[in-house]
Amino acid sequence: MGTGVDTALTVGSTNYASSAMEGSPVKTVTAPLADFGIGDAVNTAVSGKVCLIQRGTVDFATKVSNCQNSGGVGAIVYNNVAGSFGGTLGTTVTTIPSLTASDTDGAAMKAQLGQSATVAVKASNYAYFDGTSMATPHVSAAAALVWSYFPTCTGAQIRTSLDNSALDLGTAGRDTKYGYGLVQAKAAYDRIKALGCGK
């Protein structure tokens, strides 16, 4: 309990989606927003401010450390390509909270330089995880649940039914990012009840 993190990012009166930089301290700061370029050098012009930093060429730990060493009180690293991202400080220890944001939100924040920015990394009982490490237990549980209703089906038939009843995401059909889509236990149950095993 308490090992996850929640984030909050506000500039002026606008709330932005954000993720905590892995390794960021749990802390909340409010200060004027300042442009810190790509964060490749110390610049005391950001002293007492929240650094807005574009992703690219310099690792995240260096960007945040340069902000901190410049007197910055918080860091926001925004993407240099479309979409959101996660970042890590690795083994570098910093004392200022650091967040990531999308390219679109970064551009919007850049138009708000000088306005009050709040950067918050807060302890939470929940954490965000993704990838196969999280998909596997969820799909396994759905398969076990459906199979418990149809114990005469084979494992391969249950898998086929789960594949065919998944909610398609991304590119139509099976793709490398989403596979067959989002597992739907009730839809798989209904499919097997109506069509039989492995349909």
Q: Where are the domains of the chain?
A: 4-124, 132-194
The answer to whether the beta carbons of residues 158 and 143 sit under 8 Å apart is: yes
**Pick the residue with more confidence: 67 or 178?**
67
Which range among 38-47, 64-73, 101-110, 171-180 shows the weakest confidence by mean pLDDT? 171-180
When pLDDT is averaged across residues 83-98 and rounded to a whole number, the result is 93
pLDDT level of residue 22 (50, 70, 90 thresholds):
very high
pTM tops 0.75, yes or no: no
Q: What percent of the chain has pLDDT over 90?
A: 82
Alpha-carbon torsion (141, 142, 147, 149), positive or negative: positive
**Pick the residue with more confidence: 98 or 128?**
98
Any idea how long the chain is? 199
pLDDT level of residue 77 (50, 70, 90 thresholds):
very high
Domain spanning 4-124: CATH 3.40.630.30: no
Which residues, at least 6 apart from 82, have a Cβ–Cβ distance to it below 8 Å? 102, 103, 104
Compute the mean pLDDT over every residue in the chain, rounded to the nearest whole number.
Answer: 94
User: What is the pLDDT, as a whole number, of residue 156?
Assistant: 95
SS3 163: helix
Q: Is 68 exposed, middle or buried (0-12, 13-18, 19+ CB in 10 A)?
A: buried
Task: Reply yes or no on whether the pLDDT at 51 is more than 90.
Answer: yes
Give pLDDT tens digits for 104-163.
999 999 999 999 999 999 998 887 677 788 889 999 999 999 999 999 999 999 999 999
Which residues, at least 6 apart from 181, have a Cβ–Cβ distance to it below 8 Å? 166, 167, 168, 169, 170
